[in-house]
Structures are given as C-alpha cells and as structure tokens.
Amino acid sequence: MENRRVAVIGGGLGALSGAIRLAQFGFSVQLFEKNPKIGGKVNEVMLDGYRFDTGASLLTMPFVIDELFDVAGFKRSDYLDFVPIDPICRYFFPDGSVMDASADQEKMKTAIAQLSPSDVEGYERFLKYAERIHELTAEIFMFTPIHEFRKLMRPRYLRTLFRLHHIDPFRTVHERVSRFFSDPRLVQLFDRYATYNGSDPFQAPATLNIIPYVEYGLGGFYIKGGIYRLVDALETVARERGVQIQTSAKVERICHHRNRRVTGVQVNGETIDADYVLCGADAVVAYHKLIDGHQHQRKKLNRLEPSLSGMVFLWGVKGKHPALAHHNIVFSGDYRTEFRQIFEHQQVPDDPTIYIAITSKTDTAHAPTGAENWFVLLNMPYLVPGQVWEQEKNRIRRVVLDKLKRLGFDIADRIAVERVYTPEDFSELYASNKGSIYGVSSNSKTTAFKRLPNRSRLLKGLYFAGGSVHPGGGIPLVMLSGKMAATLIAEDRASRNFYSKAEK
C-alpha cells in the first residue's frame, strides 16, 4: 500500500487522538515522545502517597472523547468514568463572599440570587446569548479546519461568515459580560472564562463567551481516578489499533526533499522514513527547531502572542478543609491590574488569582487518610528575557500562602510534600512556546484565523495537531485538532493515490 507511513511527533492529546484515527484509517503509525511518559500537559505525579494531575483538571465536551472511542471501535464507558462535578467551582471573592457555581440551572440561579438578586435575569439572558454564539460558531470554528478554503464553501458556513457580527468579535469579553451583570463579582466570575484558552478578558473578543455556555450548558466533568486516566485509556486504544509508541524519543528534525515534501523525521540520530508527519509539538517551536530554513515564516510566527503561562504548586496538605470544594478560585482584588501586569508588562501579578483543585475530595485514595492533594495554579506571563523564575518561586509561594492564611487556610506548616512548576518548566517539559500553556492567546479579534492551520503551507505532507494550532488549547479542542489533521492526511493520501493510479 502506498503513502501509508506516518511519523507522529509528541504524545500530547492532539497527537495521540490523530494517531488513533490514522491507524484506524489504515495508516502505519509511529509516535515519538521525548519524555519518558506520554500525555504532555495532561500528566500525573505521585509524591509520598499523594497523587496529582499536573496539568488539566476539568473536562468539558466529553462527547469528543466518546466519538474517538466509537471511531476506533471501543466503548468509552469500559475504560473511563466521567463524573459530573457539582459545584463546578467554589468562588471566593475579594470582599469575603463565597459562591458555588453549578451546571444545574436552578442551583446556579439560587447562588446568583444570594449574591445579587437583580442579576438572575441577566444570567438567563447571558446564557442564551452564549448558547447563540455556540450555535453559530461551534461547527465552523471548533469542528472544521477553517484554513481549508474548500471546506468553508458550504452555504451554512458562508452564512455564518457573512454574519460575523452576531458572534460578537468587536467587543471584549469584559465589555460584553459587564452589560449582562451589574455585580462586579459576577463580572469577574464570567470574565474568568477567557483564561480557559489562556487569554486576557480585557482584550479577548466576546466570542469567547461561548466558553461559559460549554461549562454551564453542557457541564464540567472529572475523570474517576484522575484526568490522566484519559491518557492511559487512549494509549491502550492506540496500541490496540497498532500505533507504535516510543517514549524518551526526541524528534530532532523533520526531514524533507528539495521539492518541499516531507520524507520522515530524525529521532535520536536515526532517520525514520515517513510519507506524512503529524506534528503534535508546539508548531511555533517546530518551525524554529525542527525545520531548516524558512526564516520569513519564523519572523511571522514570532508575532503571534503566546497564551498565558502558569505556576503550579503541588502540595500534599495534612488536614481536611471542608470549606474547599473539588475546584476553587480565590480571586484577586483587581482583575484588570492582574491581567495588565501579566500581558502588558509580562510581570508576575502582585495579587494573583489562585485556583485550587483537590481530586482527593472525589477520589479519597489520592491522599493519605486525613490529608488532601492540592493542585494550585496561578496565571503567569509567558517567558521573556529578564525574568528570574528560580528567585520568584519562593516569593510567590509566600504571597499565596499568606493570602490563603487570610482566608482561613493556614497550611504553611502542614505541607507534607511539594513540587513546583514555573513557566520555564512548562517550556522545558513540553517544549511549549515561551512556556505558554494553551498555545497562542486569543487577545485579538482575528486570532481564530491567525492561529496556525492543521496543514502546513510550507512543507507538503506536514500536518499539525495540538493547542498551538486550530482550533486551540484545552482537552476537547486539541483532540479535535487531531481529528482534523488525521482527516486531512487521509484525504491527501486518497487524492495522491488516485492521481498516481491514473498516471500508470
């Protein structure tokens, strides 16, 4: 069979999803991951009896995973148990008030009424508005490779493109949210969703208000046993389907002919021949480090603004904290200043918003008896020269612990185990562009189109999946990017084989 060898770079969820589909289409697939374990930003760590997910903690759009299992001929429920999380998140506001957000609409309205009765009606209108954006954009922006001109030529897509103003790209997330809610706490809560793809609510287009609909309209989930179980399950499916997975295998180069068609990859000094390369590593980094030449393209890519980075503290904490839920947010006192410091000045925010996920609330085995596993995430700027993360680490740790103490969680002397990840670690561990955790930010009206396509324009046979390319970061979206890339490869192969037969 011709044109059936694919080399896949990276074991992140985008690449893994693409690899499974390609194997199912009949390709011979070899996947190379530089780290000892696959999963990329979805990963897991054990420290002295405490278990932690090190990256993603909330799952949305689980139907994307179901569909992949179906396509591969497996039943997802045999492998993974999706647990709806209620409350989805407990919010601690700067004035001391607390609110439980829920995908159960009655509970959510009651919680809003307790905070600000006059905003209940605004919430109902907001959710309808967000649902409308979802209706108009999901198919075209989330499920279609929008850089493929021929795929956009469907009448219903063209209708959406001509009605772009309905998807609200000309205001920012914050401007639009402020029109629905009068209470600043609710504005802060709904502004937060821009960070789900690593963006700034004061710059990102209001189209991103689709995200609260995805969470409140469709639900937020945890995976029993930890989010990393998803990687385990996909690895099983991939191997069953014949994908060859090699870990501790760093791809050093994407090889190509003078005619600009890829010929394979170089891994640990060895050349692996391939008809196609599916790159699940960050595309900006790949163009800089894995592909020779193309200076002009690199300059263009340097102009794409990376998404937020982050700082993570994994803390095994002695004692139980019933006042905390599975997911918690302790907001900063001034969101605008926080994001200005992060995106305009590339500084560590003075007063960071603190996210705490505690899976032992749901999976008690994740921490020893009488203890909890805290995953603490702060929004941080992407890497720029001059930052000194090694020194900042201890200062930020102090800021976080002091803030938590003021809230009644005095844990400084009860941290039994600890691990810290800085933006430098994200860059090093996952080869992400400047330590970004969601690829490219959506801080401009046109990012959806500027984000890199799933098919390379420079090298024939090179395709991309993952958070740095269309449709963007987050578990479901990177898995959809894998689907798009795999489908494009299959289509290319069908047309190449058709033409080569016709020539014979």
Ligand X SMILES: Cc1cc2nc3c(=O)[nH]c(=O)nc-3n(C[C@H](O)[C@H](O)[C@H](O)COP(=O)(O)OP(=O)(O)OC[C@H]3O[C@@H](n4cnc5c(N)ncnc54)[C@H](O)[C@@H]3O)c2cc1C
Which of 32, 93, 409, 464 touches ligand X by CB under 6 A?
A: 32
Between strands 89-92 and 327-330, the pairing is: parallel
State which of positions 276-305 bind ligand X (CB under 6 A): 280-281
**Interaction pattern, residues 365-404, with ligand X; x per rule: CB under 6 A:** ------------x---------------------------
Contact between 358 and ligand X by CB under 6 A: the answer reads: no
Phi, psi of 379 (to 5 degrees): -70, 135
Burial of 276 from C-beta contacts in 10 A (0-12 / 13-18 / 19+): buried
- Minimum CB separation of residue 279 from ligand X in Å reads 8
Which residue type occupies 484?
A: M
CB nearer ligand X, residue 56 or residue 108: 56
Contact range with ligand X by CB under 6 A, out of 160-168, 231-239, 298-306, 467-475: 467-475
CA distance 231 to 479: 12
Render the burial of 171-203: b for 16+ CB within 10 Å, e for the rest.
bbbbebbbebbebebbbbbbbbbbbbbbbbbbb
Which of 203, 474, 487, 489 touches ligand X by CB under 6 A?
A: 474
**What is the chain's alpha carbon radius of gyration, rounded to the nearest angstrom?**
22
CB nearer ligand X, residue 109 or residue 450: 450
Contact between 89 and ligand X by CB under 6 A: the answer reads: no
CB nearer ligand X, residue 180 or residue 221: 221
- Is cis: bond before 201, omega within 30 of 0? no
Contact range with ligand X by CB under 6 A, out of 239-247, 336-344, 465-473, 488-496: 465-473
- Minimum CB separation of residue 13 from ligand X in Å reads 5
Contact range with ligand X by CB under 6 A, out of 131-139, 360-368, 408-416, 474-482: 474-482
- Minimum CB separation of residue 434 from ligand X in Å reads 13
- Minimum CB separation of residue 397 from ligand X in Å reads 16
CB nearer ligand X, residue 10 or residue 461: 10
State which of positions 303-342 bind ligand X (CB under 6 A): 310, 312
Burial of 420 from C-beta contacts in 10 A (0-12 / 13-18 / 19+): middle
Q: Answer yes or no: are the C-beta atoms of 19 and 465 closer than 8 Å.
A: no
State which of positions 217-276 bind ligand X (CB under 6 A): 250-251
CB nearer ligand X, residue 33 or residue 119: 33
Which of 6, 7, 8, 11 touches ligand X by CB under 6 A?
A: 11
CB nearer ligand X, residue 112 or residue 277: 277
Contacts of 366 (CB under 8 A, 6+ apart): 50, 51, 52, 226, 359, 360, 373
**Interaction pattern, residues 50-69, with ligand X; x per rule: CB under 6 A:** -----xxxx-----------
Q: Answer yes or no: are the C-beta atoms of 160 and 140 closer than 8 Å.
A: yes
Which of 8, 19, 23, 42 touches ligand X by CB under 6 A?
A: 42
Cα end-to-end span (Å), the chain: 15
- Name the H helices within 247-386: 283-289, 295-302, 335-339
| Closest among 300, 311, 376, 400 to 347, alpha carbons compared | 311
CA distance 445 to 170: 7
- Minimum CB separation of residue 256 from ligand X in Å reads 16
Contacts of 318 (CB under 8 A, 6+ apart): 370, 371, 414, 415, 416
- Minimum CB separation of residue 325 from ligand X in Å reads 15
- Minimum CB separation of residue 156 from ligand X in Å reads 27
Contacts of 201 (CB under 8 A, 6+ apart): 172, 173, 174, 177, 191, 192, 193, 194, 195, 335, 339
CB nearer ligand X, residue 144 or residue 422: 422
Q: Answer yes or no: are the C-beta atoms of 189 and 101 closer than 8 Å.
A: yes
Contact between 435 and ligand X by CB under 6 A: the answer reads: no
- Minimum CB separation of residue 226 from ligand X in Å reads 12
Contact range with ligand X by CB under 6 A, out of 30-38, 203-211, 294-302, 362-370: 30-38
- Minimum CB separation of residue 192 from ligand X in Å reads 12
Q: Between the CA of residue 492 and those of 20, 93, 417, 487, what are the distances in Å?
A: 18, 52, 50, 9
Give the interface with ligand X as residue ranges (CB under 6 A): 9-15, 32-35, 40-42, 55-58, 250-251, 280-281, 310, 312, 377, 430-432, 437-438, 466-467, 473-475, 478
